[in-house]
A and B are shown apart, each in its own frame.
Chain A
Amino acid sequence: MHSDTIIACHECDLLQRVRPLPPGGVARCSRCGGILLQHKRHSLDRTLSFTIAGIILFVVANTYPFLALKSGSLVQETTLFTGIRELSAQGMPELAVLVFVTTILIPLLQLLGMVYVLGPLKFNKTPPGLAIIFRCVRSMQPWGMMEVFMLGILVSVVKLAKMASIVPGLALYSFAILIFVLAAAAASLDPHIVWERVAIEK
C-alpha cells in the first residue's frame, strides 16, 4: 500500500511508476498529461456523507412537484415522473425510457450502490460482491444526467415565463441542492480506496 504503484496510462498506455501521493496530490502521465492517480482527502467519509444526503434529496426531488404552471384558474403541476408518463402516452416510449433511465434509475442505483460499498468499508468490513457492484456503479457514471436535467428545468422556466406564471415547487430546491451534492460526492471519491480492499486472484 505504501510502495510504488505501476500504472498504465488509460489514454496512452505508457507504463509508469507512481510514488505514494501526498494528501491532495495528483499524478499525471508524463507523456499525454492524463490523470493517473489522484489522492483525495478524507475520501471515504466525505463521499459517504454526500451520498447519504443525496439519497434523502433524491426522494424529496422525485415525490413532490418541481414546477407548476398557473393560467387563470388552471393549475398544472409536474413531477419528474409525470413528464415521463406523458411522453409514453404521446407514443414515444423510447424517449420515456431514456429519460427514466438517465434521470431516475441510474442516479438512484448509483447512490444505493455507493452506500452499499462505502458503508461497510467505513466500519472496516468488506460487503459481499464489492468488486462487481463498485464496477457497475463506476461504469454507470456517464449515463446519470441529473445536472443536465437541472439545466433543462431552467430552460423550460424561461421558455414558459411568457405563456403563464410559473410556481416553483419544493422538489425544485431539492433538485438544485442535489446536483451540488452529487457533484461533491463524485469529486471526493478516490476509487483507489475501494480497489485496495479487493483481493487480487492469482
Chain B
Amino acid sequence: MNGFSLTAQKACLAGCQSCHLVSKVRPATRGKYICPRCGSVIHQRKPNSIQRTWALVIGAFIFYIPANVLPITIVTSLGKTQADTILSGVLYFIATGMWPIAAVIFFASIFVPVLKLIILTYLLISVQKKSRWRPRDRTRLYRITEAVGRWSMVDIYVVTILVALVKLGALASIEAGPAAVYFAAVVVLTMFAAMNFDPRLIWDAMEKEDE
C-alpha cells in the first residue's frame, strides 16, 4: 500500500482537509491556497495552531470555574427556592439512588470537559517540547478528544427541557442559572480548541530525526 515514506509537506504538497485531494503548494508563501476541487482554503499545517488552541484551552479553563461554582438550575417548589450546581445535582442523584443518571451527568458534565482540557494541554506541551514519545497513542488521544466533546452538551439540553416543562405555577418552576451560559461556553470553546489543534504537528517531531 505504501509507496512513499515522506509527508505531503516535505513534497511541497498539501492534502485538503475537506475533500482529501492532494495538490501542489509552493513552500513558505503567505498567500492563501484554495483547493482546486472543493474550493476550501488549504494549509500544510493549520495556521497558528498551537497559539489558537492554547488561547481556547485557557479560556475554557477560566469559564470552567464559574460553570461549577454558580448554580445551573434554580428550582422553586411550594415557595421554597433551591439553587443547584452541576456537582450538587450529581450528589442529589447519588443520594436518591439514581446511579445511572448520576453517572451520565458526572461523565458528560464533569469528567469529559476536564479530561478534554487535560489531554489538549498535554498534547500542546508535548508538541512544543517536540516529544517523540508514542506519537501513535497521542494521535489516538486526539481522536478521542475530538469525538467525545459534543456529549458534554447534555446538561444544557436537560436545562432547556426542564425550564420548558416545569412551569406548574406556585407548585413548582425551574429557571436556568448563570452557570448554564458558562458551561455552554466551556463546551463550545473546547470543541473549537480541538478543531484548531493540528495532529500533524505530533508527527513533525518524528520527521526531524529521519534526516
Contact = CB atoms under 8 A, between A and B. Distances in A.
Interface of A: 6-19, 27, 30-34, 37, 67-69, 71, 74, 76, 78, 82-87, 90, 92, 94-95, 98-99, 102-103, 131-132, 134-135, 138-139, 142, 145, 148-149, 151-153, 155-156, 158-160, 162-164, 191-192, 195, 198-202
Contacts, number: 218
Contact of B157 (A131, A132, A148): A148
Contact of B160 (A16, A32, A87, A134): A87
B2 A102 contact: no
Contacts of B166: 69, 76, 160, 163
A7 B3 CA distance: 11
Contacts of A71: 168, 171-172
Interface string B69-96: 0000000000000000000000000001
Given A92-B180, A131-B37, A152-B158, A11 B139 contact: yes
Contacts of A33: 136, 139-140
A33 B142 CA distance: 13
A155 B101 contact: yes
Contact of A159 (B3, B39, B142, B162): B162
B6 A15 contact: yes
Contacts of B44: 13
B20 A158 contact: no
Contacts of A198: 19, 37-38
Contacts of A99: 156-157, 160
Contacts of A85: 164
10 contacts: A7-B20, A19-B1, A37-B20, A68-B165, A74-B169, A86-B160, A87-B176, A90-B176, A138-B18, A153-B161
A13 B8 contact: yes
A8 B18 contact: no
Q: Main secondary structure on chain A at its contact with chain B?
A: mixed
Contacts of A202: 36
Nearest to B157: A152
Given A135-B40, A151-B151, A152-B160, A92 B181 contact: yes
Contact of B38 (A27, A149, A195): A195
Contacts of A102: 153
A149 B156 CA distance: 9
A1 to B, nearest CB: 14
Interface string B130-163: 0000011001101100100111011111111111
